[in-house]
Structure 1
Amino acid sequence: MLNDMCHPEGGELFTGLYSDYWGRDAAVFRSMNRVAHLRTEPDNERLLKEPKFVGSYMIPDNEDHDDNKVYFFFTEKALEAETSTHAIYSRVGRVCANDMGGQRMLVNKWTTFLKTRLVCSVPGKNGIDTHFDELEDVFLLQTRDNKNPVIFGLFNTTSNIFRGYAICVYHMASVRASFNGPYAHKEGPEYHWALYERKVPYPRPGSCASKVNGGLYTTTKDYPDEAVHFARSHPLMYQPIRPVHKRPILVKTDGKYNLKQIAVDRVEAEDGQYDVLFIGTDNGIVLKVITIYNQETESMEEVILEELQVFKDIYVNQKIQTINSNAEIIPNQTLQINTNEEDSDQQQLYVGSESVIAQVKFHQCDMYGTACADCCLARDPYCAWDGISCSRYYPTGVQAKRRFRRQDVRHGNAAQQCFGQQFIGEVLEKTEERLVYGIEYNSTLLECTPRTLQAKVIWFVQRAHETKKEEVKTDDRIIKMDLGLLFLKLHRLDAGTYFCQTVEHSIVHTVRKITLEIVEEERVDEMFNKDYEEEIPHKMPCPMQSSIPQASKPWYKEFLQLIGYSNFQRVEEYCEKVWCTDKRRKKLKMSPSKWKYASPQEKKARIRPEHYRLPRNIADS
């Protein structure tokens, strides 16, 4: 059972896996090429205890290639956890890439294996932290210095009290400081784990045979027994690795999604540098998120830019990576990253399931509308207002002929950024109007989705024969949802005009005006109690040009007469708009029988799937 592998330059293959059918023999292996095949010692719980390998990377410490190290990210049962015998900790393990094993009992066994705890926790009162101990995924964001990538870890809780996820960021300086620090030590079964304060053998246990370490030893086979045995009995470091800012950059405890994978793209914006997080969930949705750290309050602001419905109606354990061009698919569903920052059309996100690979653009700025305010309120670091439209933002020097630009990712202050621009433009001023009919005691949804996910939605209603608008009060019957206002059971008093308003950074915009009219239940019963199919066997919902006599009326007109509406003409216009379009006529020619009354099973089969915000640009293959 292969959990993870790393294939650095030189041809060696480093893998973390269970080598037996029963999943009991966990080990870190090195194979291939001409160097010795190595593995961790079997049945040594100090090294590995029921690990789950997540990721591995070769990261150089310096210019001396003999000092290169391979880092393994995994979770395991923690021997040093004194509060619970079944505690799970996240780990970073490390071996030297040029480890050749030792002598006697350690032939073909690692002599440089060390590990340390990877902490991701929320500081609490009285010094008690809330820990996210189980590592789900790890992503290395490469920087200009290949020796210092930024590490992003996605964690979940092992608590029985609540379920949550967190993302923590780590610098390689913190990783190296832990491995260069003191070792953890335990005198015996009855003792606590403590700092090892006695003399450490030379060469330092866990160090590589390289020139930067003195050059006295050219291979680990020549290491003194004292140094090798110390590393074997003290593989755990005392100081854990703590995240940047000593807290997560993102915490999710709402239970809406199960987060599984993470990929990160670093973006240059007008007001600084931002890391855009692409987070894969187990239900086919990818979240596009940025986080902003407030140094004064020491808090993080989460800005959800998009929720991309990539896969639908299937359970997906996704693996996502940011890719700029020329994607190369590796057999275990991971993807290779190639950088091409100047060509924005090639910047793509590839999302993989067990059977599908989907391609999604990092950005499509025109989706934010054609007004300056909409573009700025989106707070998408990829996009800026250029004086004419919301378009791709290019840092200084990348695009010589750039137009007027307005962007404020940190604050989203559209009033300041768009002063003198198309701030209250035609698009922002315009309110979409709709007419909706609902049947009494049935449910209905008044749809309204804000242009940005950061906007607060407030619903107002103006009752018939009233001039004042009042805010809609939600309860067990009326629920405010992401897609709109849901009435679980309509009452006659619910009729009126509903206003969907968005509020964001003091900018109020009425997105949609919906007139809701209620059809009384008695009127509907009167119509459906008649044997309608015998009375009008050949009626169709729309006139089919010359195929239906002029005297024949569409079925919905007789329905309206049965209801006896005083505003018959207005309702008739509404039904004409719904039923009598060219598209409907084409469908009727193909299957005229679909307008007959169906059985409850047939009706259920024709129910449209739930609406999701679909990805902007997807190519499945």
Structure 2
Amino acid sequence: MRCVRCYICDHDVWCVLQSAEWGVDEDTRRSCQSKGKTEDECQNYIRVLLLSGPRLFTCGTNAFSPICTTRPILDLAQVVDSVNGVARCPYDPKHNSTAMLTDSGELYAATVIDFSGRDPVIYRSLGSMPPLRTAQYNSKWLNEPHFVSAYEVGRFTYFFLRETAVEQDCGKAVFSRVARVCQNDVGGRFLLEDTWTTFVKARLNCSRSGDVPFYYHELQSTFYLPEQDIIYGVFTTNVNSIAASAVCAFNLSGITQTFNGPFRYQENPRTSWLSTPNPIPNFQCGTVGDGGPGGNLTERSLQDAQRLFLMSDVVQPISVDPLISQDNIRFSKLAVDIVQGQETLYHVIYIGTEYGTIIKALSTSNNSLRGCYLEEMKLLPEEKWEPILNLQILQSDRSLFVGLNSRVLKIPLERCSNYQTQRECLEARDPYCGWDRKQRRCSTIEESTNMSQWIQNITHCPERNLTQDGRFGPWTPWQSCTHNDGLLTVSTVAHF
């Protein structure tokens, strides 16, 4: 029987420090298969993996009987707590879900809550706040959603998703959304009991401008830059449409402005969706009356919360056109790094594709540099390509970690030594790199000993279709390595 392993790796020497098997017991597996599921489906797939101080909170599908465990980081094999995974983890490993833990210990999960996958939910559990969920079996709240990500911002939790649009009058369409709830929401009384009273959602627009705009309807991945309150998103066309992808960025202030605007409301299924004024246009979490949390909820406010949750206005991106767009390809994931150049800050965007390549692009307020492709990295030979499943930047190590089906790859963010001459260095237009005239080499700004001698020339996009050897050599032979952090000593083998 196959089982899932949890790993902890050392990012410096790139060896496995710990691993723990987490399989499915025979009775659970048989029960799963008796309900018509395949052998592959009746395994334990880890879908939630969250750090909480010195512990790891993780949830697995457990053969369509989801379960969550808490484990010490220093001993993954030890389970210190186990709870039911329903409403915290999907039953089906193919369901798109997301989850996050707040600083105060509440788990916010967006997943499906039943075996058949017909009851999608945004659910809060654990911690000191009461459990809350979105309205059950109400397609106006959530309609066949695919959850992408969740972020804690101030007193709000934001969820990013795509779903079938209930407000679409003609034909079926999928829209990308941002949803929001208050973290101090305690639910209603009698009406909306155990249900969010602060749930709102709005459509995200990512489109190519024109008399008839070309829409990238389906959100695939997001990246939040808290330093600048910007959300980057990867959007694609529908899988049954011509392949096309784009990256759009949204200011958090723009999202807030939309949530402060009018709602869209449908009186009954036979009427059209109409715009209606927002009864609380500058809503803020945390307004608590003398009756404690929720004490100021009137019958009218609960009725409004039950029917007014879809915003009329659309959240517009920070630029009229996408920052990056490309036809005949599907982007899958992205990560963004803020880089200090000689004269300004740059946002370097790493975009994973379904073909297993990573596009490195530039985002800046300079229109002549908008949408610049700096390079495209082919990680594996064409006959062995795998789609990019995850991208994570580890700032302390200045590395990009790439998740594939069969492996995890580590790529240095700064590879200035690849450029051997001043011309190569400057014409790469790489924000990480500049030419040090004193040391006569391409270096990062941190490596320069004299800033007046360190130059860049990022005035326009680099020339494309130039092949550059990434200089990633073959693996070295396996060798022993030892890790000691003062608490745990582990010996293992690795290659580099």
TM-score by length of 2: 0.71
Report matched runs for 1:56-205 at 5 Å.
56-60=150-154, 68-84=155-171, 86-125=172-211, 128-143=212-227, 148-158=228-238, 160=240, 162-197=242-277, 200=279
Per the alignment, do residues 227 and 281 of structure 1 end up closer, same or farther by CA in structure 2, a change over 3 Å counting? Answer: same
Shift of 1:351: 1.0
- Within the candidate set 15, 35, 51, 2:145 is matched to 51
Shift of 1:218: 3.5
Q: Per-residue CA shift, 1:470-491, capped at 9, x if unaligned?
A: xxxxxxxxxxxx79xxxxxxxx
Uncovered stretches (5+) of structure 2, i.e. residues with no partner: 1-89, 91-95, 476-493
1:237 alignment partner in structure 2: 311
Per the alignment, do residues 98 and 379 of structure 1 end up closer, same or farther by CA in structure 2, a change over 3 Å counting? Answer: same
Tell me whether 1:35 sits opposite 2:129 in the alignment: yes
Shift of 1:314: 4.5
2: CA distance between counterparts of 1:169 and 1:134? 14
2:398 alignment partner in structure 1: 347
2: CA distance between counterparts of 1:78 and 1:39? 20
What is the aligned-residue RMSD (CA, Å)? Answer: 2.8
Tell me whether 1:266 sits opposite 2:338 in the alignment: yes
2: CA distance between counterparts of 1:613 and 1:385? 19
TM-score by length of 1: 0.57
1:383 alignment partner in structure 2: 433
1: CA distance between counterparts of 2:470 and 2:213? 36
Q: How many residues align?
A: 381
Tell me whether 1:320 sits opposite 2:369 in the alignment: no
Shift of 1:205: 10
Determine which structure has the larger helix proportion and give its number.
1
1: CA distance between counterparts of 2:177 and 2:416? 40
Q: Aligned AA for 1:315?
A: E
1:246 alignment partner in structure 2: 320
Per the alignment, do residues 80 and 321 of structure 1 end up closer, same or farther by CA in structure 2, a change over 3 Å counting? Answer: same
Shift of 1:238: 0.9
Q: Aligned AA for 2:373?
A: I
Per the alignment, do residues 176 and 152 of structure 1 end up closer, same or farther by CA in structure 2, a change over 3 Å counting? Answer: same
2: CA distance between counterparts of 1:207 and 1:99? 11
Shift of 1:308: 2.1
Shift of 1:204: 6.6
**% identical aligned pairs:** 28
Q: Aligned AA for 2:243?
A: R
Shift of 1:322: 1.4
Shift of 1:616: 7.6
Q: Aligned AA for 1:266?
A: I
Uncovered stretches (5+) of structure 1, i.e. residues with no partner: 61-67, 326-345, 413-452, 458-481, 484-611
1:294 touches 1:300 (CA, 8 Å); kept in 2?
yes
1:209 touches 1:220 (CA, 8 Å); kept in 2?
no
Shift of 1:309: 2.6
Query: Which deviates more, 157-166 or 224-233?
Result: 157-166
Shift of 1:239: 0.9
Per the alignment, do residues 23 and 311 of structure 1 end up closer, same or farther by CA in structure 2, a change over 3 Å counting? Answer: farther
Shift of 1:292: 4.8
Tell me whether 1:304 sits opposite 2:361 in the alignment: no
2: CA distance between counterparts of 1:44 and 1:385? 59
Give the secondary structure class of the aligned counterpart of 2:371: strand
Computing the radius of gyration from Cα coordinates, the structure with the larger value is 1
Q: Aligned AA for 2:394?
A: I
Per the alignment, do residues 318 and 311 of structure 1 end up closer, same or farther by CA in structure 2, a change over 3 Å counting? Answer: farther
Q: Per-residue CA shift, 1:504-562, capped at 9, x if unaligned?
A: xxxxxxxxxxxxxxxxxxxxxxxxxxxxxxxxxxxxxxxxxxxxxxxxxxxxxxxxxxx
Shift of 1:69: 0.5
Q: Aligned AA for 2:300?
A: E
Give the secondary structure class of the aligned counterpart of 1:227: helix
2: CA distance between counterparts of 1:399 and 1:294? 26
Determine which structure has the larger strand proportion and give its number.
2
2:453 alignment partner in structure 1: 404
Q: Aligned AA for 1:32?
A: L
Give the secondary structure class of the aligned counterpart of 1:34: coil
Give the secondary structure class of the aligned counterpart of 1:175: helix
Give the secondary structure class of the aligned counterpart of 1:38: coil
Per the alignment, do residues 278 and 28 of structure 1 end up closer, same or farther by CA in structure 2, a change over 3 Å counting? Answer: same
